Amino acid sequence: MSAVPISWYLTLSAVIFALGVAGFLFRHNIITVFMSIELMLNAVNLSFVTFSYQLKQVNGHLFTFFVMVVAAAEAAVGLAIILTVFKNRSTLNIDDIDSMKN
């Protein structure tokens, strides 16, 4: 048994994605929540690369590449938002940030 079934990779991807969702749901620190999003993105990237292997096409790699680019941009803007929020409210707990209500 020298080869790994492709479903193992996809299952790993699903597990990491679910862990990302769990982080998003159960954590209160906005930075950790943000990192959970990165975790989900990474899980999806793994799926893309796996499918690319299965289909023997390079397209999946390019999707991954674009996801990385967007994630980098998102990290820059998101962290800037976090900085601004912290500056104005002195809190990182996302349950305290609810000014959209009312």
Partner 1 sequence: MQLWLIPLLPFAGFLINGLFGRRFSKGVVNVFAIGSVVLSFAWVLKTILGLGDLTSAHVEHYFTWIQSGTFNIGCDFAVDRLTAVMLLVVTGVGSLIHIYAIGYMAHEHGPHHGGYYRFFAYLNLFMFFMLVLVLGANFLVLFVGWEGVGLCSYLLIGFYFDKKFATDAGNKAFIVNRIGDFGFALAMFYIVKTFGSLDFATVFQKAPTAPESALTLIGLLLMVGAAGKSAQIPLYVWLPDAMAGPTPVSALIHAATMVTAGVYMTARSFAIYSHAPAALDVIAIIGVATAFFAATIGIAQNDIKKVFAYSTVSQLGYMFLGVGSHAVSAGIYHLVTHAFFKALLFLGSGSVIHALSGEQDLRQMGGLRSKIPWTFWTMMCAAVAISGIPPFAGFFSKDAILVAAYAHAPWMYWLGTLTAGITAFYVFRAMFMAFFGDYRGHEHHPHESPPVMMIPLVILAALSLAGGYLFKVPQFLAPMFPLAEAPENFTLVAVSVGAGVAGILLAYVMYVAQPGMADSLASGMKGLYTLVYNKYFVDEIYDATVVNPLVGGSRILLWRFADVGIIDGIANGIGSRARDIGGILRRLQSGNIRSYAAWVLFGGVLVIVAMGMAGGVR
Partner 2 sequence: MDVILFLIFAIIAVVSAINVVVQTHPISSAVSLIGVMGSLAVLYLLLGAEFIAAAQVIVYAGAVMVLFIFVILLLNAGAETKRGRSFMVQLLGVPLLIALLGLLVFFVDRLFPRSVTVHFGGFSGGSAQAVGRALFTTYLLPFEVTSILILIAILGAIVLARKELD
Site residues for partner 1 per CB under 8 A: 21, 24-26, 33, 94-95, 97-102
Measuring CA to CA, how many Å separate 17 from each of 4, 8, 61, 80, 99?
20, 14, 19, 25, 29
Contacts of 53 (CB under 8 A, 6+ apart): 6, 60
In single-letter form, the type of residue at position 36 comes to S
Interaction between residue 65 and partner 2 (CB under 8 A): yes
Q: Which is nearer to partner 1, 33 or 41 (CB)?
A: 33
Please report whether residue 75 would count as binding partner 2 according to CB under 8 A: yes
CB of 52 to partner 1, least distance (A): 20
Q: Is 89 in the site for partner 2 (CB under 8 A)?
A: no
5 binds partner 2 (CB under 8 A): yes
CA distance 60 to 47: 9
User: Any contact of residue 69 with partner 2 (CB under 8 A)?
Assistant: yes
Give the whole-angstrom CA distance, residue 50 versus residue 54.
6
Q: How many residues bind partner 2 (CB under 8 A)?
A: 73
